[in-house]
Structure 1
Amino acid sequence: MKSMKNLKTIALALLVVAGTITTTAQNKKINVEKSKITWVGKKVTGQHDGTISFNSGTLVFDGKKLKGGSFEVDMTSITVKDLEAGKGKEKLEGHLKADDFFGVDKFSTSILEFKTIASKGSDIYTVTADLTIKGKTLPVTFDLAIGAGSARTAFKVNRTKYGIQYGSGSFFDNLGDKAINDDFELTVSLAY
């Protein structure tokens, strides 16, 4: 009888200890082939859109709760989707990769690192992250929706804050219909 009581005591102690152990963070690497970033840049006379690829990325979870994330984007992969080859596509892609815009020869990657995360309920989180473009790091805030093996967000970035002033009416006068909006829009779909 005494050994049975000891076994129950030991079992109860193990349950208490197991209940106090916190879940360790789980790193979920994104599938860079299935994850994508689409961009839209607007100007007075219209807009252009395209894609940029990820080099890598990881979302960090504690159980089902989002706890962190970091991503590296391949800036050399900028493509224009709304123009056809031979109809200005190559010229615009070259200009976006040049020093006037993203300067990919010197700054081939951009980095996004989550800093604060607040749950809004229903698997939606408000994330403030450090975004590094052209070697300059500034905070951005966006809502991130988490699904089964996926995540999605959309937000705007003010390019002039990263030193990309080409065609900006905020810096240059008399641009007329050549003015380009300071903000560009990003829509991000992650698969992990």
Structure 2
Amino acid sequence: MKKLILSFALVASVLTACKSEKKDKVIATEAAEVAVVVDLNNVDVASSVITWKGTKPGGAHDGTIVLKEGSLNLEAGKLTGGSFIIDMSSIKNLDLDAGGAAKIVGHLSSPDFFDVATYATSKFVITSVAEVEGKLAVTGNLTVKDVTKSITIPAMLITTGNVTTFKSEKFNIDRAEFNVKYASKKFFDNLKDKFIDDLIELSFTVNTKA
């Protein structure tokens, strides 16, 4: 199955994003149509995971999201592309008891945040890979709520036996850029200490099938 993928063209953005401090958000730019790739569907979704963390004054919450399907394109042991379909209905909270976790997951799944009933999946498509200071600078297009932005994240590729793992460092995206508006100071005035930080910390661990 072939899929149309998007990318941005400025290599300088790759270098800048990898040199940023972890607390800074990744640089998001507009995406552009450039090529097609073959969907290999070679990712083991059962052992792959995305972690998330959101913060607000006085506290934070964290959890996981799993993949629905994915591909890692490898040539001679090097990462050349890939795509991950993210199952938004799989959002979990890990820091609260069962009742609190159910409440926050329900809110995150609602139209206030990710509107999972309307936008059941998100997507990350790798469009270019560069080596920067001994690490990989992976450029790709992140689609959330039908908004697509090109970002660059620091990552590494690890092969153990027959399994290859794509593992990113922790990075931050700005939810406001993806139309996630609830309690955002970019959309609402006079929130005082009732705001929720726009930055969401993410990390990817994606394994191929053995």
Q: Distance in 1 between matches of 2:41 and 2:69?
A: 11
CA contact (8 A) 2:53 2:60 kept: yes
Alignment of 1:1-192 (within 5 A): 27=40, 29-86=42-99, 88-120=100-132, 122=134, 124-148=135-159, 149-153=164-168, 154-192=170-208
Q: Distance in 1 between matches of 2:202 and 2:142?
A: 13
Given the two structures, how large is their TM-score scaled by the length of structure 2?
0.75
Q: Distance in 2 between matches of 1:45 and 1:174?
A: 18
Q: What letter matches 2:175 in structure 1?
A: R
What is the number of residues matched between the two proteins? Answer: 166
Q: Distance in 1 between matches of 2:167 and 2:193?
A: 33
> Displacement of 1:26 after TM fit?
11
Deviating runs (4+, > 6 A) in structure 1? Answer: none
For structure 1, list consecutive stretches of 5 or more residues without a partner in the other structure. Answer: 1-24
> Percent identity of the aligned residues?
38
Partner of 2:5: none
Q: Distance in 2 between matches of 1:26 and 1:51?
A: 24
Q: Distance in 2 between matches of 1:26 and 1:76?
A: 22
Q: What letter matches 1:134 in structure 2?
A: K
SS for the counterpart of 1:93 is helix
CA contact (8 A) 1:112 1:130 kept: yes
Q: CA RMSD in A?
A: 1.8
> Displacement of 1:127 after TM fit?
1.2
Q: Distance in 1 between matches of 2:133 and 2:180?
A: 36
CA contact (8 A) 2:51 2:203 kept: yes
SS for the counterpart of 1:29 is coil
CA contact (8 A) 2:41 2:69 kept: no
Given the two structures, how large is their TM-score scaled by the length of structure 1?
0.81
CA contact (8 A) 2:55 2:197 kept: yes
For residues 1-28 of structure 1, the C-alpha deviation after alignment (integer angstroms, 9 at most, x for no partner) is: xxxxxxxxxxxxxxxxxxxxxxxx9957
Partner of 1:13: none
Q: Distance in 2 between matches of 1:144 and 1:60?
A: 15
Q: Distance in 1 between matches of 2:128 and 2:166?
A: 17
Greater fraction helix: 1
> Displacement of 1:176 after TM fit?
2.1
Q: Distance in 2 between matches of 1:126 and 1:59?
A: 15
For structure 2, list consecutive stretches of 5 or more residues without a partner in the other structure. Answer: 1-37
CA contact (8 A) 1:26 1:63 kept: no
Distance 1:106 1:28, change over 3 A: closer
Higher RCO structure, 1 or 2 (CA under 8 Å, sep 6+): 2
